[in-house]
Amino acid sequence: MAKKEKFRNFITRILESSKLKIEAGSIQKAFQEEIYINAEEVHKYIKNMEQMWESWKKLSQIDFISRFLEELGPPIFASWLSEVFPFDFEQIRAQCPKGPSSEDALLEILYDFDKDELRIIKDVLIAHWINEPEAQVAQTLFIEAVKSISEIFSKIIKHPWKIFTSNVNLTKEGNNLKIHYSAAGRVVK
């Protein structure tokens, strides 16, 4: 399946399932359904992540979640967004600066929605009679895709872990939309 067609199908399923509603966890449920639909990719991702986590713990002789993400976070998030979800790997830039503790991790993830992706979002919004700006929808879809890794990551590290949004900046550049997402991931007690 072509990349743009996969992106269109993803947007369509999320909008049909959630209508972009936050109430009763509608959008989070839509992303959980998406993870279920992509079970094969998720299974491969989990297997690779478990191997990375175990190898990293043996090599570093520690199991600090923040250090793990500081060292390996960029490919972890880029592959999640491009293998489980249909975001373009080439348009993702991620970094995980040093966190404030052994359990807290900082995330900086940037994505450039190109004009084709923005047109797809707009077309699907029109087709479903949803009156929301495509930039706002793009932001919501991206943030929820990033945050949806929390449950998977919790299983891998065997601790409840969650991502909390710190800041989001959107910048329109020509026909593209740049999103700069800042967050913190931490163990939930």
Bridge-partner residues for 170, per DSSP? 179
Burial class of residue 182 in the structure, from the number of CB atoms within 10 Å of its CB (0-12 exposed, 13-18 middle, 19+ buried): middle
Provide the whole-model pTM: 0.93
CA angle 61, 67, 69 (to 5 degrees): 120
For residues 158-179, give the mean pLDDT: 93
Check residue 49 and give its pLDDT: 93
String of b and e for 11-38 (b: at least 16 CB within 10 Å)? bebbbebbebeeeeeebeebbeebbeeb
How many residues in the chain?
189
| CB-based contact 64:103 (threshold 8 Å) | yes
Q: Which residue has the tokens 């700069």?
A: 180
pLDDT tens digit sequence for 25-63? 789 999 999 999 999 999 999 999 999 999 998 888 877
> What is the reported pLDDT for 158?
86
